[in-house]
């Protein structure tokens, strides 16, 4: 009714203006009432687009109350080049001089306020000529903001403000499509918080929500872009990183995420400590669509959590088999104690100033009846995950006490205590029982406890420390500085020793390393608190000399002795006062991982299957070719697109020592990998067919590409002289 009356006052579009009516005054009054109520506003222009009328309320919003008469109507609204399709329609509608309805435009009020308008209008024709526009406008800023908020809520997590699962899924789909068209990579990380449930259970869900907000803020700081981070739900997060496939860079980012999230939090006056595990997958190597990429990142995350948590893991094709093997290993571990498959090896702890053995660390070993020795790095995380660690820990404690009581010379024995074991209220009673049953002097038992026991602060932890010290045993703080360091607990926790983790020792002698300063600070702290210090993992003389110069009290590592069985250890003790002269390489060498694995090498367009015998950051040892000349260059196919250029530095009969052109990087699981991988696009472009298993390049006859005039590539002399087919057969058997 009001709009109809308004049209009667302002005109009926492209028709002659109607003659005045006696009800015109009443219609005008109604229009003024409509304006005064703020329900909408009216406007009109002349044929040049200049304002001839604008409702007072609209003038207040558009011109801050100044008279708009004579101003260009279009220039009252923003035209910055970022308008939507609707906003570009208004100038077009004015140009075509036709009727238009509900065009959305923007205006600016003050320095930081944007208003949204819905504008309708129709042309006025006077004596057959265009005379301007008359129309209606409405302030829709509230509706627009409400719609934007609804859209934001639909695409963002209400708690953290990060992208939600739905939005991240859409973003990942679009990003992968773009990356595929550009033949570029895209990495994703799945992040799961460790021990978050404990915070919820002990402090309540409100504290858990506050913690998640802080975690989100830390993730954004590490990643640097809020629009690349999402909360999938619960305590799971996802990060998308287009254009990155350098696994050295990705590993550094994952490590930074883990380190940042693992720092202490303060929630309502309570101190909280959690951790994080990260799974990483990269397209197109680990999947070329969002479903497969997310699934494989999830497998990598599961592997990271299964390997002990607080670490990252890249996806690899063998993860499915590894998961199956892990389940079988867990089943066998359940029976290992009953079948007497576990034993303890002892590694000497030596006083650095005179090489005198003053103690040992008890280290559990598992001799599997089928697989032989199983690395503790494999079965200890399984034991912790499956809650077998308490039973194994009790067995180690009792056995170490029983064996140590028979040693001559009164050596101290150190036993590792898992956080799960320490958290048991009955642990002090267990230690008392082990001492009583064995007859071992409590002063000769040292319990090595990691910083993670302080995750649950409070009276229970302090009471446990007090009970243990009441028994007369010594306490050592293990792996100091690698997880949840806080000087606060050192004021009250009654430690006798601080152990410097081998991760600090290994890099301490490298140029530019800060590890030396960190170790010096730890030693100074220990001296101030009247504690001993032990440096773990010392293997070379440059490391050993550095530890002595920094006044580290005790040294433990291969520079003195590897862990040895009890029988061999007792023989050494029976020889009298045990002094070990240090021996080892002059300088630190990169760790070499022994293995027996089939790989391939490429030389002069020929592909040869060989066996990889060991691998390090800087090189490898291969077997299968004969008398290869020093300096020969190979491309090493490590599988899954991992190609490394290497040069032969040592060659002896069937074995060659290789030096990589570019160093390998950690894969997050104790292994090594190349920084970059050759994508399927690159391999196809080079004419190198891939194995249907996805585990490397598929050899085609004795050569891959190139050749002589007859189309056949000539094989080097060292390959002609080698048992090439035999090497392939042995590799297949392996």
pLDDT per residue as tens digits for the range 345-368: 999 999 999 999 999 999 999 999
User: Which fold would CATH assign to domain 593-733?
Assistant: Thrombin, subunit H (2.40.10)
Instruction: Assign domain 156-317 to its CATH superfamily.
Output: Reverse transcriptase/Diguanylate cyclase domain (3.30.70.270)
Where does CATH 3.30.450.20 sit in the chain? 2-146
Is domain 346-574 annotated with CATH 3.20.20.450? Answer: yes
The pLDDT of residue 13: 43
Q: How far apart are CA 625 and CA 190, in angstroms?
A: 42
End-to-end CA distance of the chain: 89
Q: Regarding predicted confidence, which is higher, 295 or 589?
A: 295
Length of the chain: 734
The pLDDT of residue 686: 60
Q: How far apart are CA 455 and CA 483, in angstroms?
A: 11
Q: Which residues pair with 192 in a beta bridge?
A: 236, 277
Where does CATH 2.40.10 sit in the chain? 593-733
The pLDDT of residue 461: 78
Q: How far apart are CA 671 and CA 669, in angstroms?
A: 5
Identify the DSSP state of 345: E
CA pseudo-torsion sign 376, 381, 386, 389: positive
The answer on pLDDT for 681 being more than 90 is no
The answer on pLDDT for 216 being more than 60 is yes
The pLDDT of residue 680: 67
Q: How far apart are CA 581 and CA 575, in angstroms?
A: 15
Q: How far apart are CA 388 and CA 380, in angstroms?
A: 9
Give the pairing of strands 619-623 and 633-637. unpaired
The answer on pLDDT for 377 being more than 60 is yes
The answer on pLDDT for 485 being more than 80 is no
pLDDT digits (tens, 9 = 90+) for 589-629: 666 777 788 888 988 878 889 999 999 888 999 998 988 89
Per-residue confidence band for 427, with pLDDT thresholds at 50, 70 and 90: very high
Per-residue confidence band for 468, with pLDDT thresholds at 50, 70 and 90: very high
The answer on pLDDT for 12 being more than 60 is no
Give the pairing of strands 265-267 and 372-374. unpaired
The answer on pLDDT for 2 being more than 60 is no
Where does CATH 3.20.20.450 sit in the chain? 346-574
Per-residue confidence band for 96, with pLDDT thresholds at 50, 70 and 90: confident
Mean pLDDT, the chain, integer: 82
Angle at 120 between CA 116 and CA 126, to 5 degrees: 140
Q: Regarding predicted confidence, which is higher, 151 or 578?
A: 578
Q: Of 410, 121, 106, 456, which is closest to residue 273 (Cα–Cα)?
A: 456
**Stated pTM of the model:** 0.58
CATH class of 2-146: alpha beta
The pLDDT of residue 31: 80
CA pseudo-torsion sign 95, 97, 102, 107: positive
């Amino acid at each position: 009714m009001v709009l109809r009356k308004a049209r009667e006052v302002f005109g009926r579009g492209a028709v002659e203006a109607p003659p005045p009516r006696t009800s015109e005054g009443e219609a005008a009054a109604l229009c003024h009432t409509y304006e005064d109520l703020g329900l909408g506003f009216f406007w009109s222009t002349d044929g040049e687009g200049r304002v001839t009328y604008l409702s007072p309320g609209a003038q207040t919003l558009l011109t801050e109350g100044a008279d708009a008469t004579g101003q260009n109507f279009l220039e009252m609204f923003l035209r910055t080049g970022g308008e939507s399709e609707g906003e570009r329609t208004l100038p077009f509608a004015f140009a075509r001089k036709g009727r238009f309805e509900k065009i959305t435009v923007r205006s600016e009020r003050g320095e930081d306020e944007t208003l949204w308008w819905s504008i309708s209008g129709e042309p006025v024709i006077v004596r057959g000529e265009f005379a301007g526009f008359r129309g209606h406008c409405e302030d829709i800023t509230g509706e627009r903001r409400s719609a934007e908020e609804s859209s934001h809520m639909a695409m963002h997590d209400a708690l953290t403000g990060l992208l939600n699962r739905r939005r991240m899924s859409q973003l990942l789909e679009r990003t992968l499509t773009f990356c595929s068209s550009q033949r570029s990579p895209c990495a994703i990380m799945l992040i799961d918080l460790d021990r978050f449930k404990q915070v919820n259970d002990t402090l309540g869900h409100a504290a858990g929500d506050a913690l998640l907000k802080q975690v989100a803020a830390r993730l954004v700081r590490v990643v640097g872009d809020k629009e690349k981070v999402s909360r999938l739900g619960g305590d799971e997060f996802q990060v998308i990183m287009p254009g990155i496939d350098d696994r050295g860079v990705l590993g550094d980012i994952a490590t930074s995420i883990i380190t940042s999230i693992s720092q202490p939090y303060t929630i309502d006056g309570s101190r909280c400590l959690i951790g994080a595990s990260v799974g990483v997958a990269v397209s197109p190597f680990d999947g070329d669509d969002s479903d497969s990429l997310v699934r494989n990142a999830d497998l990598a995350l599961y592997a990271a959590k299964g390997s002990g948590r607080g670490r990252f893991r890249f996806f690899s094709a063998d993860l499915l088999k590894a998961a199956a093997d892990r389940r079988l290993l867990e089943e066998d571990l359940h029976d290992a104690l009953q079948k007497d498959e576990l034993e303890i090896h002892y590694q000497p702890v030596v006083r650095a100033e005179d090489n005198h053995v003053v103690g040992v660390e008890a280290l559990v070993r598992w001799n599997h009846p089928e697989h032989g020795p199983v690395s503790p790095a494999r079965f200890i995380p399984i034991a912790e995950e499956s809650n077998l660690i308490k039973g194994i820990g009790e067995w180690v404690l009792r056995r170490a006490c029983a064996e140590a009581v028979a040693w001559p010379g009164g050596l101290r024995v150190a036993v590792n205590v898992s956080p799960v074991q320490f958290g048991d209220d009955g642990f002090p009673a267990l230690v008392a029982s082990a001492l009583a049953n064995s007859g071992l002097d409590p002063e000769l038992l040292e319990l090595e406890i990691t910083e993670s026991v302080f995750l649950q602060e409070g009276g229970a932890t302090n009471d446990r420390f007090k009970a243990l010290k009441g028994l007369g045993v010594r306490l050592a703080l293990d792996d100091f500085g690698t997880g949840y360091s806080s000087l606060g607990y050192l004021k009250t926790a009654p430690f006798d020793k601080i152990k410097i983790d081998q991760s600090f020792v290994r890099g301490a002698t490298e140029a530019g390393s800060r590890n030396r300063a960190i170790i010096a600070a730890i030693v100074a702290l220990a001296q101030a608190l009247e504690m001993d210090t032990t440096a773990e993992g010392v293997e070379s003389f440059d490391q050993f000399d550095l530890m002595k110069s920094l006044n580290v009290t005790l040294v433990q590592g291969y520079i003195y002795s590897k862990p040895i069985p009890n029988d061999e250890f007792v023989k050494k003790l029976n020889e009298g006062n045990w002094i070990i002269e240090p021996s080892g390489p002059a300088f630190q060498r990169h760790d070499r991982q022994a293995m027996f694995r089939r790989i391939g090498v490429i030389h002069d367009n020929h592909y040869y299957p060989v066996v990889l015998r060991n691998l390090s950051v800087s090189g490898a040892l291969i077997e299968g070719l004969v008398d290869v000349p020093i300096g020969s260059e190979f491309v090493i196919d490590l599988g899954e697109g991992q190609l490394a250029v290497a040069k032969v530095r040592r060659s002896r009969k069937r074995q060659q020592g290789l030096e990589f052109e570019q160093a390998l990087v950690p894969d997050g699981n104790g292994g090594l990998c190349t920084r970059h991988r050759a994508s399927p696009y690159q391999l196809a472009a080079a004419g190198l067919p891939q194995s249907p298993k996805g585990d490397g390049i598929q050899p085609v006859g004795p050569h891959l590409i190139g050749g002589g005039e007859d189309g056949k590539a000539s094989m080097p002399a060292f390959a002609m002289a080698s048992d090439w087919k035999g090497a392939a057969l042995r590799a297949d058997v392996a």
